Amino acid sequence: MRFEYSVIPAPTRTEKSREAKTPTDRFALTLTAELNRMADEGWEYLRADVLPSEERSGLTGRATVYHNVLVFRRPQAADPEVKRLPQPEATPAPVTTATAPDPA
């Protein structure tokens, strides 16, 4: 089975909610909403990663910045361009014939 992947930035701001009182609760609620949104689109959550990215800093400098991302996957539709291995020919079942009885 082949998969396609989607990587999105992890939420950095939380949503306000009456039932979430602490910052941890609000973050969990925000993350849950994002995971459910992606699941509604058919994506399966795989993992969260922290990945480095070299970015410009000032006019000539460079700095390594780390980004938190969420990784999702979903089954890929069958690709007609993918070459399949030939399947062995099935042995045909023997054909039997019957004669109809004479109505006379």
Query: φ, ψ for residue 59 (rounded to 5)?
Result: -80, -40
pLDDT band (50, 70, 90) for residue 81: low
Does residue 29 lie in a domain region? yes
Does residue 55 lie in a domain region? yes
User: What is the domain count for the chain?
Assistant: 1
pLDDT band (50, 70, 90) for residue 90: very low
Does residue 101 lie in a domain region? no
Q: Is the pLDDT of residue 103 over 70?
A: no
The pTM of this model reads 0.67
Does residue 22 lie in a domain region? yes
Does residue 85 lie in a domain region? no
Contact in structure between 15 and 29 (CB atoms under 8 Å): yes
Range of the domain at 15: 3-75
Higher pLDDT, 55 or 93: 55
Does residue 11 lie in a domain region? yes
| C-alpha of 83 from chain center | 23
Does residue 23 lie in a domain region? yes
Does residue 54 lie in a domain region? yes
